[in-house]
Amino acid sequence: MRLLLERDNELAALRAAVAELAEGERAEAVNDRLLLVTGAAGLGKTSMLAAARRDAEAAGLLVLASRGGEQEQGSAFNVVRGLLRTLLEEAGEEGRRLLLGGWYEIVGAALGLASTGGAPDAQGVRDGLDWVVTNLAVSRGPLVLIVDDAHWADADSLAWLAAFSSRVAELPILLVVAYRPDELPDWADAFRAMAGDNGVRPLGLSALTPEAVDALVREMYQQDGRSAAVEDGFSREIWAVTGGNPFETVELVAEARERGIAPAESSWGQLRELASENTGHGMIARLRRLGHGPVSLARAVAVLGIATPLDLAGVVSSLRPAEAEAAAEKLRASRILTGRQILEFVHPLIATSVYHSIPEETRTELHDRAAWSVLEAGRSPVIAARHWLEVPPQGNAGRVEQLRAAARLFLQSGAPETAQRCLARAAAEPPPVAERAEVLFELGCSTLLYDPAATAGQLRTALRQPVIPERLREEISVRLAQSLAHSNNLAEAAMTMADEALRTDDEAVRLKMQVWNFMWCAFDAWEEGSEERSKRLADLAESLDHQGDRSMAARYVLGLRAWDATVRGEPVNVALHYSDLALSGELRWAHPEWGFEVPVLVAMTYMYGDRPERALELFAQGIAEYEEAGWRGAHLAFGHTILGYVHYRTGDLAAAEASARLGLELANRVGEGTPAHWYAVGTLIAVLTARGELDQADLLADRYTFHAPYSNAVVFPDAQTVRGGLLLTQGAFVDAEAELSEAGARLDGRSMRNPGWCGWERALAAACAGLGDLTRARELAADQLERAERYGTLTAIGVAMRASAELTVDPEQRVAELETAVGILDRAPAPYERARAVFDLADALASAGRDAAPAFRRAADLAEACSADGLARQARARAES
C-alpha cells in the first residue's frame, strides 16, 4: 500500500541527500546535509523518515535514530540517548570507552552510563557529544541521524541538535529531523531558528488532495477484490471527513472495511459515525468498549511513554501477566497499540488522546505507581523522577530521597535545569525537618550558574530552617555569597561573608569566610573602604606567612594578597612573593568548592610582574583542568579570553586575537552582558586596536554595545579604559577625556593605582594633549611614571617613560627620553610596547633632522614579529620614504 502519495518532491529530496552522502559528495552548504520535515500530526512525517532510513541502510550507511515523546520531555538528553543507545548497548564497557574517548566522564552520565565524573556544564556535554558524533561519522560513517517528533524532544537534546546542525556540512553526516512547527515549546527558540540560521527550507507536508485520497481508498479496498465497486462519492466523503489527513484516512478506511461498510456514496452517514469513533472522544469510547483490561493497559502505556515493556505496563495497570497479554492482543487488533514485548501506540495522536482521557486522580495514581515500578525494575531514578513531577506533594520521605538522587544524576549529565525541577519538587514534598535545609541548599546550587538570583532566595530560605548542621550552614553561606556576586550584588556578597566570619567560633571556618569576603571585595568595582580592607588583608597574609600556614584557605588569602598588591601598585617583589607562596601547594582552577578566581589572579600577577612564561604555564594548566572537568561555558570563556590578554600584554598579538576570539565565541554561548562577555569584548577590542584593525574594533564595540553602563564587577582590561582608548583612535578627544577621567576617579577611589595593570593615565594624557591641555597631560604622565617606578617592572617603567616622552617638545630631549625608554623595554618581556617605543624614537629622530630609516626598519621588524600589522605597515612606509 502506498502511504506516501503526493510526496514525490519531498521523497526525491530525501533520497538525493542520502545518495549524495553515500557517494561521498562534498556538501556545498548546510542545506545539503540538514533536512527538516514539518507538518501537522498524521501527515506522514514518520513515513518519510522511515523511507529515508530504508534508503540509507540499503546504501550501507550507519543510521542512528531517535524520537521525542510527549511524556519524556522532562528527561534531559533523552533523545540523544536514543540516538546512541543501540551502539552503546552492543559495544560493551571497553567498546563504550573507545566510542566516547576522552569524553567518557563528561558525556557518560548524559548517555545513561555510570559515571564517576563531576558535574560538567551543559556546554561541556554538548561539546563532548559533538566529538562523539563527529568521530562516529569519520571512523564508521557516513552517518545518518534521524530524529522524529522533535517537538516533543527534551530541552537539552534540542539545544544540542540546534547547535550541531551548523556543522553537518563539514562532515559525512546527514541530519533528518521531523517535527510539528506549531507544537514546538516556547523555550525552543534556538531550534525554531535552526532552519533560517542555516538557510534551510523545510519540507512542509500538506494534506492529501481528493484525488490522492481516492487512489488510497481504491488501493485499500482492492485487497478485497472490490476496487471497481468504490464509488467516487464514497472517496470524496472520506476526504471530507478526514480533511485529507493520511493517517486518519488509512484508519477510517481500514475500520470501514472491517465493519463491512460498502464503498458507496450512500454510506456517508456510517462513515461520519465511524470517523467520530476514531478520533477524540469517539476513539476513547471505542477503547472503553474493549473492556477493563485493555483500558487499564492502554492508560499505563500512555503514562509510561514510548517503548514500554509489556511486563512493566502490566505491573502499572495491576494486571496479571496473562491478563496483560490478552489486553495487549485486543489493543493490537483494534489498531491502538503495536508491538509484542515492547508496546507503542500506533500513532502519537492516539497516545495523546488516551493520556488526556485519564481522570486526574487516576492519572496521578498511575504516575506514582509507575515511578515506584520503574525503580523496582532496576531502572534509573531519572526515569522515575518525571512521574513524580506529576504527583502532588504528600510528605513522602522516600520520594524526596529518589528525587534528590535523580537530581544528582542530572547534574552529572550537565543538565542543571532538569535537576532544579527535581529538587524544587522534593522541597515541595516537603522533606523531613532535619533534611529541609540540605534539600534547599542542593536546590540553590542547581540554579547557581543560570539563575543566581533564584539561588539567593532559595539559600536564604535554607538559612531560616530550624535544623542546620554547622558544616551545612558554612556551605550555604558561601553559595549564597556566590549567587549574590553573580547577580552583580558584590557588596552584599562580601558583607554576607564578613557576617559569617564574625558569627563562627571555628578558626578554620572563619579563615574560609574571610577568603570569600576579601575576594568579593576585590571584584566589587565600587567597593567602599578599600584602604582599610587592603590593610586587613595584608596583616592577615603576613601573619599566615610567618606561621607557615599553607592550608587551602591560607593559600587563597596569600593569592588574594598578591593580587591586591598588584592592582595597588605595591613593589612587584611583594606581589610575586605572595604568588609564590600561594602556589606552594595545589591550587586547582576547577576546584568545586574553592572556585577558579584566585588561581586566575595568581597567574595574572605573574603576567603583570614581567613573568609571562609562568603566567602562560599556569593558564595552560588551568584551561586543561576546565576541559577535563567539562567546564566549557563561562569558565572556559574566561580562560581563553584572559590567555588572549596575556598574549596581548606579552606581545604575541596574533595568538592574542585567536584566543580572544575563541573566548568571545564561548562567551556568546554563555550570554551577553555577563562578566565573561565584558572580559572577552574588551580584550578583543584592545587586541584589534593594537593590530591596527580599527574598523573591526569599532564594529565590535557597536555590535556588543560596549559602553556605559559598565559591569559592576572589576574586569580586566578595564572596560571603560578600553572604551576611552578606542575613542582616542577616532579623534574623539572630548568623549575620550570624559570616559578616562571617570575611569581614573573610580580606580583611584579604590586605590587601584598600578599603571602596569591599567593604563588609564597614559590614555588620558593623550586625550588631554589632543585637546591642547599639555599641562594636565604632563602632570598625568609624570604621575604615571612615579607610580610605575614604585611598582618596579621594566614594562611599566618603559611604557610610562615613552608616554612622558611623547609630550616633550624639544626634539633632542625627546630623542634622549625615548632612547632611555627603548633601552628599558629592550630588557622587558614586552615586544609590542618595544615596537611602539622604537617607532616613536624613529619619529623623534626624523623630527630632529637625523637619519631615522634604521630605527623605522627596526620598528617594522619588531611590529611584524608581534603581528602589530598596522604599526608595521606605517613603519615600513616611513623607512622607505
Tens digits of residue pLDDT in 601-640 = 999 999 999 999 999 999 999 999 999 889 988 889 999 9
- Which one-letter DSSP state was computed for residue 358? S
Q: Quick one: which of 396, 438, 294 has its CA closest to 387?
A: 396
Q: What pLDDT does residue 117 have? A: 66
Looking at residue 225, what is its pLDDT? 60
Q: Is the peptide bond before 181 cis (omega within 30 degrees of 0)?
A: no
Q: How far apart are CA 256 and CA 263, in angstroms?
A: 8
Q: Is the pLDDT of residue 241 over 50?
A: yes
pLDDT score of 230? 85
Instruction: Give mean pLDDT, residues 51-77.
Output: 95
Is 227 a residue whose pLDDT tops 60? no
The angle that helices 597-608 and 612-629 make with each other, rounded to 10 degrees, is 160
Q: What distance in Å separates the CA atoms of residue 854 and residue 522, rounded to the nearest whole number?
A: 46
Are 705 and 682 contacting, i.e. CB atoms less than 8 angstroms apart?
A: no
pLDDT digits (tens, 9 = 90+) for 304-333: 999 999 999 999 999 999 999 999 999 999
E strands, 300-355, are: 308-309, 337-338, 342-345
What number is the average pLDDT over the span 512-522? Answer: 95
| pLDDT beyond 70 at 3 | no
Nearest one of 840, 857, 858, 848 to 803, comparing CA atoms: 840
CA distances from 334 to 258, 277, 781 (A): 10, 12, 89
b/e string for 697-713 if b means 16 or more Cβ within 10 A? bbebbeebebeeebbbb
The pLDDT tens digits for 826-866 are 999 999 999 999 999 999 999 999 999 999 999 999 999 99
pLDDT at 276 over 80: no
> Cell for 477?
553561606
> pLDDT band for position 281 (50/70/90)?
low
Asked whether the predicted pLDDT for residue 1 surpasses 50, the reply is: no
Q: In the chain, what percentage of residues exceed pLDDT 70?
A: 98
Q: What pLDDT does 2 receive?
A: 54
- Give the CA angle between residues 404, 405, 411 to the nearest 5°: 85
What is the Cα–Cα distance from 186 to 273, expressed in whole angstroms? 37
Q: Do 338 and 348 touch, CB atoms closer than 8 A?
A: no
Measured between alpha carbons, how far apart are the two ends of the chain, in Å?
Answer: 83
- Sign, CA dihedral 578-582-583-584, equals positive
Residue 271 CA to residue 230 CA, distance in Å, equals: 14
Handedness of CA 467, 473, 479, 482 (dihedral sign): positive
Strands 143-148 and 308-309: unpaired
pTM for the full predicted model: 0.86
State the average pLDDT over residues 650-675. 91
Q: Is the Cβ–Cβ distance between 559 and 578 less than 8 Å?
A: yes
350 contacts: CB under 8 Å, gap ≥ 6 = 283, 336
In whole angstroms, what is the distance from residue 100 CA to residue 25 CA?
A: 27
Rounded Cα distance, 331 and 517, in Å:
65
pLDDT band, very low/low/confident/very high, at 673 (cuts 50, 70, 90): confident
Distance between CA atoms of residues 385 and 414, nearest Å: 17
Query: HEC states along 738-791?
Result: HHHHHHHHHHHHCCCCCCCCCCHHHHHHHHHHHCCCHHHHHHHHHHHHHHHHHH
Pairing status of strand 342-345 against strand 62-67: unpaired
C-alpha to C-alpha distance for 204 and 704, rounded to whole angstroms: 36
Q: Which run of H or of E encompasses 144?
A: strand 143-148
pLDDT at residue 224 tops 70: no
Q: Is 432 helix (H, G, I), strand (E, B) or coil?
A: coil
pLDDT of 676 higher than 80: yes
How does pLDDT run across 713-752, given as a tens digit for each residue?
Answer: 898 899 999 999 999 999 999 999 999 999 999 999 999 9
> Quick one: cell of 155?
530541552
Residues 622, 628, 630, 633: is their CA dihedral positive or negative?
positive
How far apart CA 657 and CA 675 sit, in angstroms, is 19
Alpha helices in 380-528 (DSSP H): 381-388, 397-412, 416-428, 433-446, 452-463, 470-486, 490-503, 507-523
Q: Which of 202, 233, 204 is nearest to 217 (CA)?
A: 233
* pLDDT mean over 760-774: 97
Q: Is 417 exposed, middle or buried (0-12, 13-18, 19+ CB in 10 A)?
A: middle
**pLDDT at 203 > cutoff 90:** yes
* Distance from C-alpha of 529 to C-alpha of 560, rounded to nearest angstrom: 17
The pLDDT assigned to 228 comes to 54
Cell of residue 57, nine digits: 541502510
What residue type is assigned to position 561 of the chain?
R
- Distance between CA atoms of residues 237 and 214, nearest Å: 10
Query: What are the cell numbers at 786?
Result: 612615579
Which residues, in sequence order, are CB contacts of 664 under 8 Å at separation 6+? 637, 641, 677, 680, 681, 684
Confidence band of 129 (pLDDT split at 50, 70, 90): very high
Share of the chain above pLDDT 90, in %: 83
How does the average pLDDT of the chain come out, rounded? 93
Phi, psi torsion values for 572, nearest 5 degrees: -60, -30
